Amino acid sequence: MPEVDPGFLALPLGAIRAAALEEAARSGAGQAEVRVERIRSQMVVLRDGRVETTVDDVELGVGLRVVVDGAIGFAATVELDPGAAAGLAGEAAELARATGAASGERVELAPEPSPGEVSWVSDHDVDPTTVPLAAKVALLEEWSRRLLAAPGVDHVSAYVLAVVEDKQLGDLQGTVVTQRRVRLHPVLEAIAVDPETGAFESMRTTAPPAGRGWEYLLGVGCDLDAEVEALPGLVAEKLAAPTVEPGSYDLVIDPSNLWLTIHESVGHATELDRALGYEAAYAGTSFATFDQLGTLRYGSDLMQVTGDRTTPHGLATVGWDDEGVEAQRFEIVRDGVLVGYQLDRSMAAANGLGRSNGCAFADSPLHVPIQRMANVSLRPADGEGPTTADLIAGTDRGIYVVGDKSWSIDMQRHNFQFTGQRFYRIEGGRLGGQVKDVAYQARTTDFWASLDGLGGRSTYVLGGAFNCGKGQPGQVAPVSHGCPSARFRAVNVLNTRGEARR
């Protein structure tokens, strides 16, 4: 198993932790957590086989959160020095007293047992930040050359993003949690241009971002070589495909597309702070309000959704969250009914829900932890279950949707519209050729109520994104969503070209 980075452990972690927490206690804090964190982010971007951008960034700092007289205060510094860490306590306590007086509300944190001194490292073989830049460029160049050499491909973009996150969290209860998270996202996109009309179409790989190391690009967990081989034919077919006739269709949705629909219509909608109206400025609140817990009919009986911070290779997978809560799995939708929310310690305590389910995260040592999304996933059919081909065979007139692209959803997560990378006609249970200009539109509860077929475990894929946004000031968080192929009956399909009057 991989280990915590010795270079991170060589930092004065113990001295910083002790200085910050001792001064926090002297400043009147009943509870306090200090995080020392180092985040290394790398990006390599090629355009038409030539290097366009490279980034290698390291963020390093200390953040201290305190609870003083029922109010939260936070302060941070980039100085890795015990004296600077101790100085954070006075700043955080002063801020807590000021915000407490202004808000008039008392903050409580749900109790959490201390795990003592523990460590956790995400499952990976090769730290991607240790791979030489030349090797990264060479691999992306090879794939780009293959695509550009194919008939009908006019332009190619290729990039890989890698993040390695090292942190240590300590609190007044004696918790010392040291963690390392590794994640990677490769993307290749081919563009085909019609020389006569100037019309163009694009097609990109569907390999999702993953909590893996550099081995992911070399065939462990995905097959980018096969995707690169298929892209030219797929984008050429899309360019020549007929435009879709709008109307009502049964949809068989591939996991490479459905993960995003889950993210927007279920994941964000079941964050409790959003459902209570505390989160409104960044993409709105939620129709799934707290008074409907246990009664809201979210979807059909087939709909089983869990939050899980222990999912292997998940982007939101951790050992402990940024409040020292151990990672866990919990129910959100059971048999189509809303039965749970994603919680941090303050939301759990304020609403009488017992223990937090570990959904606190800060995207920087300089930011306060906020409630963030777990890996929110749709459970596949029991046993072997149907294949994607089986779901298609049971569909008379429909569309098979593959890959994510653009999306839109209203400020209560209730009305949405999604497009995709490619769309295939389904006629009489058989897969036909591609159509284009497709978007599917629905209300969240109507869409999930129309779910009438789930693929088995063999169709299940863990998708996700690096850049889920929330909060003001804004923070971004990585999150995964697993799901099988699934069938939805009588969904409204729009023609995007017609809607845009082009």
Long-range contacts of 282-285 (CB under 8 A, 24+ apart): 282/469, 282/470, 282/471, 282/472, 282/474, 283/409, 283/411, 283/469, 283/470, 284/410, 284/411, 284/412, 284/413, 285/411, 285/412, 285/413
Round to whole Å and give the CA distance between 303 and 102: 43
- Alpha carbon distance, N-terminus to C-terminus of the chain: 55
Round to whole Å and give the CA distance between 105 and 216: 48
Residues 6+ apart with CB under 8 A from 138: none
Say if residues 122 and 215 touch (Cβ distance below 8 Å): no
Is the pTM for the entire model greater than 0.95?
A: yes
Q: Which CATH class is domain 6-240?
A: alpha beta
- Number of Cβ within 10 Å of residue 411's Cβ equals 12
Round to whole Å and give the CA distance between 159 and 129: 14
pLDDT in single tens digits along all 502 residues of the chain: 688 999 999 999 999 999 999 999 999 999 999 999 999 999 999 999 999 999 999 999 999 999 999 999 999 999 999 999 999 999 999 999 999 888 888 999 999 999 999 999 999 999 999 999 999 999 999 999 999 999 999 999 999 999 999 999 999 999 999 999 999 999 999 999 999 898 999 999 999 999 999 999 999 999 999 999 999 999 999 999 999 999 999 999 999 999 999 999 999 999 999 999 999 988 899 999 999 999 999 999 999 999 999 999 999 999 999 999 999 999 999 999 999 999 999 999 999 999 999 999 999 999 999 999 999 999 999 988 899 999 999 999 999 999 999 999 999 999 999 999 999 999 999 999 999 999 999 999 999 999 999 999 999 999 999 999 999 889 999 999 999 999 999 999 999 998 887 6
DSSP code of residue 382: S
Domain residue ranges in the chain: 6-240, 247-499
Per-residue buried b or exposed e for 434-446, using 16+ beta carbons within 10 Å of the residue's own CB = bbbbbbbbbebbe
Both tokens of 457, joined, read 């475990």
Residues 6+ apart with CB under 8 A from 373: 263, 267, 268, 271, 307, 316, 342, 359, 468, 477, 479
Round to whole Å and give the CA distance between 466 and 208: 10
Alpha helix (H) ranges present in 71-184?
82-103, 133-148
∠ Cα 67 68 72 (to 5°): 45
Q: Is 239 helix (H, G, I), strand (E, B) or coil?
A: helix
Pairing mode, strands 397-402 and 247-253? parallel
Nearest to 109 by CA among 306, 471, 360: 360
The backbone torsions φ and ψ at residue 382, rounded to the nearest 5 degrees and listed phi first, read -65, 150
Cis peptide before 473 (omega within 30 of 0): yes
Angle at which helices 133-148 and 224-240 cross, to 10°: 40
